[in-house]
Amino acid sequence: MDLAYLQQNYDALATVFVQNPLPFAVGFFSVYVLVTAASLPFATLLTLLAGALFGFWPGVLLVSFASSLGATVAMLVARYILSGIVLRRFGSRMDAINQGIERDGAFYLFALRLTPVVPFFMVNLLMGLTKIRAFTFYGVSQLGMLALTMVYVNAGTQLSNLRSLSGIASPVLLGSLALLGFMPLLLKKAMPFLQRNQAACRALKPWNAMRPKFFDRNLIVIGGGAGGLVSAYIAAAVKAKVTLVEAHKMGGDCLNYGCVPSKALIKSAKVAHQMRYASKYGLQNANTAFSFKAVMARVHAVIAAIEPHDSVERYTNLGVEVLQGYAKMVNPWTVEIALNSGQTQTLTARSIVIATGASPFVPPLAGIETSGYLTSDTLWDAFAKLDEIPKRIVVLGGGPIGCELAQALQRLGAEVTQIEMADRLLIREDAEVSSFAKAALEADGVRVLTSHKALRCEGKTIIVQHNEQEFSIAYDSLICAVGRSARLAGYGLEALGIPTSKTIETNEYLQTIYPNIYAAGDVAGPYQFTHAAAHQAWYAAVNALFGDIFLGFKKFKADYSVIPAATFIDPEIARVGLNEFDAKAQGVAYEVTQYGIDDLDRAIADSAAEGFVKVLTVPGKDKILGVTIVGSYAAELLAEYVLAMKHGLGLNKILGTIHTYPTFSEANKYAAGEWKRAHQPTKLLAFVKRFHDWRRG
């Protein structure tokens, strides 16, 4: 049936309609439903006929309901027949699609209905594969198809004058309908911006009278640790006028109390351990007598050697104004600085970045304040004054900091007892990793007490509870390493009403409730790593300097998809992405591939043949979900997987990369090889075997 046939038989159909109007209309409606439900190519002609026979408004009413009902039937049939097959084949992908449909399905369907480039029968089929509700599908379809229905019904009222179907809907008309269809999508995309803008206006309204007409600075950064230094560096690099305020030591916790001194101590402890057990390498065990004061002097020398990288002089030369003092925000644009010199300076800035870091958390144990406890911040200066290492040391905490300090101090001659309330060390890692860490520490002589709860301190004794029994542990030094708390007090957060819990609450752009005040690093969370702070600082600085251009539409969401971490005990533990603990908690399907480093040639040559590489991948795919490495140089080996995950490279790419022999990095290639062997095409290989058998005659 075509347009010419319809025109030739119009008179006969009109006669039947005049003689039996109601039965004819019911029959026409039923035929239209069947045609659209079966996706037959006659719907357009029937729409024209409806206009010719019934007139404009009755025709629109009839076709609108019939086409929507038929489309819904087609969608449900497709769902019944095909959705099970598609779900079995593309289960994980369909889950993501259905989440999008649940959130924005009505908007997308409306856009498709108003965009005739996509055939309507194809829309019915595709939507049938999703979990869109039938009632939603029907209602949106009726509304979305109404405009085009009216165009064709109106054309049908002039049936005798039509020359072709192509002339009914002009490109201009179709383009207009498509634009109309995308308007709801554009509005939905704009809604978060509008909501943020509205919330920002409400937050700033009480302060608008204090807003300066001109600003002293483009950016003020509070805090001179990793997050603050990178934020200030970026601002200076793009020629913004930036002031960095630091009250104490430049470089923050990492340089002065954390990463740098701890790794220097760990290195000295490792050398002492290797000397003590030199026979492991075919040498004679050596006397490890040493000066603890000299060891601590080396730690401070390492800090001093790295210090220029984060110094006032360096950042001043880079174009950053560095002020040493305590900064406090008095309104969203003004910072009052109590300089260390005793003077006070007030500056205004278009944007502010808070990067005040974190400090050690001290548990509220009875008697701890008079116990003479140390933290990961204070132990470096305290130990530097000692001629000998404290004989008995208690380390409170089984996280990365506690484990690193416990092993290093034990190797340097102390008798270390490590107390952890949880049932295992490194509670965020997989159970086998925790067991490995405990075994490594105990092998060095650390007394590891898991499932032990610290109750109180009595002089130089700590009372702990295990299995409802209390007992005491005497010590010469008590080190609290149970975590770190964000520095939130004294910066004006309370007066400005900026919400805080354990950290400053920010959105995905690292903004607080005020659109021009950002937070980065430990004070913002969720990670407490130097590299994570530097990573966040890029987003905070760029958004602060450029986020309000183009009405604030262009900002960068902080990306936490690939954040590596390492615990520098010996052997090391390093991880990126998901481990099994996380994957199970999040309900993520995964496969595990594991390669034992005891099989690695270089590890055997170095007498370091222990540990493993454990890779989680998407089931049946080489896409990497996460990696845990335990062994020598684990943190270095992890970098290859961080790169692969960041740029979407799978295990096949790692397997196809040449790795120098003999190196520890080959462990990554061999892990990829284990995955490949587990996914080899067995049927194809069976055929190839028969082929080679045939070739031998």
Q: Are strands 447-449 and 415-419 parallel, antiparallel or unpaired?
A: parallel
With a CB cutoff of 8 Å and minimum separation 6, the contacts of 347 are 216, 217, 220, 243, 334, 335, 337
Q: How confident is the model at residue 324 (pLDDT cuts 50, 70, 90)?
A: very high
Render pLDDT for 219-251 as a digit per residue (tens, 0 to 9). Answer: 999 999 999 999 999 999 999 999 999 999 999
Q: How confident is the model at residue 189 (pLDDT cuts 50, 70, 90)?
A: low
Dihedral class, residue 669 (left if φ above 0, else alpha if ψ from -120 to 50, else beta): alpha
Residue pointed to by tokens 């961080």: 642
Q: In the prediction, which pLDDT does 41 show?
A: 75
The yes/no answer on whether domain 217-360+486-552 falls in CATH 3.50.50.60 is yes
Render pLDDT for 340-395 as a digit per residue (tens, 0 to 9). Answer: 999 999 999 999 999 999 999 999 999 999 999 999 999 999 999 999 999 999 99
User: CA–CA separation, 213 vs 233, rounded Å?
Assistant: 26
Q: Please tell me which residue, 417 or 27, carries the higher pLDDT value.
A: 417
Q: How confident is the model at residue 628 (pLDDT cuts 50, 70, 90)?
A: very high
Q: In the prediction, which pLDDT does 481 show?
A: 96
**How many CB atoms are closer than 10 A to CB 9?**
12
Each domain of the chain, given as residue ranges in start order, spans: 3-186, 217-360+486-552, 368-484, 571-682
- DSSP string computed for 480-519: E-S-EEE--TTSSHHHHT--BSSSB---TTSB-SSTTEEE
Render pLDDT for 630-685 as a digit per residue (tens, 0 to 9). Answer: 999 999 999 999 999 999 999 999 999 999 999 999 999 999 999 999 998 888 88
CATH-assigned architecture of domain 571-682: 2-Layer Sandwich (3.30)
The domains spanning 368-484 and 571-682 adopt the same CATH topology: no
pTM: 0.76
Render pLDDT for 383-395 as a digit per residue (tens, 0 to 9). Answer: 999 999 999 999 9
Q: How far is CA 21 from the centre of its chain?
A: 64
The yes/no answer on whether domain 368-484 falls in CATH 3.50.50.60 is yes
Q: Which residues pair with 220 in a beta bridge?
A: 243, 352
Size of the chain, expressed as the number of residues it contains: 697
Q: Which residues pair with 624 in a beta bridge?
A: 617
Beta-strand runs (E) in 317-357: 321-331, 334-339, 344-354
User: CA–CA separation, 104 vs 110, rounded Å?
Assistant: 10
Evaluate if residue 145 carries a pLDDT over 60: yes
